[in-house]
Amino acid sequence: MLNRWSSFSYLLTFIIILPIALVINHAFGSDTETLTHLKETVLVEYVTTTFILVVGVGLLSLILGVFSAYLTTFYEFKLIGFFIFSLALPFAIPTYIMGYIYSDIFGYFNYFHLFLRSLGIKEYFNVLNIYSVIVIMSLALYPYVYLIVKASFEKSKSALLNPALSLGSSRKKLFFKIILPLSRPAIVGSLALVMMETISEYGITEYYNIKTMTPAIFNTWFGLHDSKSATYIAVMAMIMVLAVLGFEKYNRGKASYKIENSNTEVTKQTLKGYKLYLSYFFLSIPIIFGFIIPLIWIGVYSYEYLTTSIDEKFITILTNSLISSTLSAFIIMFFAFLVAYTSRIYPNLINRYLSKILSLGFTMPGAVIAIGIIMLFTDIDKWLIEHYITTTMFLSGSYFTLLFAYIVRFFAIGVSSVESSFERVSMDLNKASRSLGYNYFETMKKVELPLMKNSLLFGFALVFIATIKELPVTLVLRPFNYETFATKAYTLANSQMIHETALYSLGIIVLSLIPLTIIILKRHR
């Protein structure tokens, strides 16, 4: 018989997975005229461009992330604390904001070209191309690789470094033969996140006019009003992501990457001479270009527009961003906790896979989710009207729609942080509590929740940051006249009012930096 915990989790899974299932179902069937036309003309270009972008961003993020993590984990040098902290900071700047900033800096009448002309160089370097997008996106997304791989390096450091060094391995050999292969799940996992974000990215690709699949989905749906073709492209984007994940799983085979915990102290090697300066140079690049320059730009223009932009409307946008991110992070963490707890106390085959199924939303481009939710809520609204329960489109375009979309999209972030913190709380504590007279619910309240407080806060912060930066879903599903910092910055940038975006970008960065700082400090401690 189904217990209450499992029943609730199954119902939740069904509701969350429904929009994705609808998109997939809608995509198949007879080709529309538009789709045939797309296939004959631009579809191949969409796929190829997306592929190039994904590979480029993946590679560059990998180099920046892995080497930064390696240097700050296995070596000792002056200012290491500063670098550990600062390397994560570009995470607070959304990709599209970084895109707007660099398009401005490299604009014909702006800093870079003015400087060149002062040197007598008249040539114009147009940055609105795929290579710039690859660099900018890598600067914004490499922190995924850095943070996740660093955590894995930290774990393997004490367990493996001493045994390997005692066997006579050189540091180079150790890195390539032991550390890298053992951190493969972390590297691939973080790389998958980078790739998914790249496929899903809308703001920068649209602004730089890069013809990838996500802008194509938007244009087909909203420009050509062809939902079938849009969903077809969406499903293709989804298949691309799943193919990446599937390839890794197949390739990994039965290899084990489990590292036993060890508390052995490890003596880090101190970097000196040219190696130290090379490391400083390498580590400074992502911090300068990924955080400091964008922050200076934002600071300058925020100051310029401070008096004119901070008004009642700005406060409303601030409130909107804060409320929607806090609310969705809270709801996601609450549901994620329930689902993860269900699979903890009833670890049957279905329950073990629930969190994976519920995480599908994160593997989809935001546009796909938005489309699925529009389809779902339109159908529900039609049914409600047909059955005289309501007279208007009750759900479509409501705030609830937007919240629901955030839940579908970011559930994976919440559930993975809850699951990993459950791993650290022994199941014996749960059993002990039950043998002392408490049921599952009371045990959860009295034992697991207090022990996981910090980890839950960490998960909350991650979802909060993801939501505050989110653009495509918010853009499509927001209620009429509803603005967040992200949508406002996008609207202004698209109206060629780049400098006016600064204050809204600052809003995103400040709101992201608060939880991000807590995360970094807690991790470092």
Interacting residues with another protein (CB under 8 A): 426, 428-429, 431-439, 446-447, 450-451
Q: Measure the CA–CA gap between 153 and 445, rounded to whole angstroms.
A: 33
In angstroms, what is the minimal distance from the CB of 424 to another protein?
A: 11
Find the DSSP H helices in 288-394: 293-309, 312-345, 349-358, 360-363, 366-386
Nearer to another protein, 173 or 522 (CB): 522
**Closest distance of CB 87 from another protein, Å:** 32
Nearer to another protein, 446 or 522 (CB): 446
CB nearer another protein, residue 190 or residue 433: 433
Contact 128, 208 (CB under 8 A): yes
Q: How far is the CB of 515 from another protein (least distance, A)?
A: 23
Residue nearer to another protein on the CB measure, 277 or 441: 441
- B/e letters for 211-238, b = 16+ CB within 10 Å, e = fewer, are bbbbbbbbbbbeeeebbbbbbbbbbbbb
In the complex, minimum distance from the CB of residue 423 to another protein, in angstroms, rounded to a whole number: 15
Q: How far is the CB of 348 from another protein (least distance, A)?
A: 12
Closest CA to 77 of 266, 290, 288, 283: 283
Contact 145, 69 (CB under 8 A): yes
DSSP for 201-268 reads --HHHHHTT---HHHHHHIIIIIS--HHHHHHHHHHHHHHHHHHHHHHHHHHTT------------PP
Those residues whose C-beta lies under 8 Å from the C-beta of residue 503, and which sit 6 or more positions away, are 301, 302, 305, 306, 309, 310, 314
Q: What is the rounded CA–CA span in Å between residue 26 and residue 486? A: 29
Question: Which lies closer to another protein via its Cβ, residue 268 or residue 431?
Answer: 431
Closer by beta carbon to another protein, 168 or else 437: 437
List the beta bridge partners of residue 75: 269
CB of 454 vs another protein, minimal distance in Å: 11
- Minimum distance of another protein from residue 170's CB (angstroms): 38
Least Å distance between CB 427 and another protein?
9
Give CA–CA dist 478/406, Å, rounded: 11
Residue closer to another protein by CB (options 382, 446) is 446
Say how far apart CA 453 and CA 155 lie, in whole Å: 22
485-494 and 502-524 helices, crossing angle to 10°: 140
Radius of gyration of the CA atoms of the chain, in A: 24
Instruction: Say if CB 17 and CB 357 are below 8 A apart.
Output: yes
User: What does the block give as tokens for 159?
Assistant: 């367990």
Question: Distance between CA atoms of 337 and 5, rounded to whole angstroms?
Answer: 11
- For another protein, give the closer residue by CB, 431 or 522: 431
C-beta of 261 vs 439, nearer to another protein = 439
What is the distance between the alpha carbons of residues 467 and 422, in angstroms, rounded to a whole number? 24
Nearer to another protein, 120 or 450 (CB): 450
Q: What is the smallest separation between the CB atom of 443 and another protein, expressed in angstroms?
A: 8
CB 431 to another protein: min, Å: 5
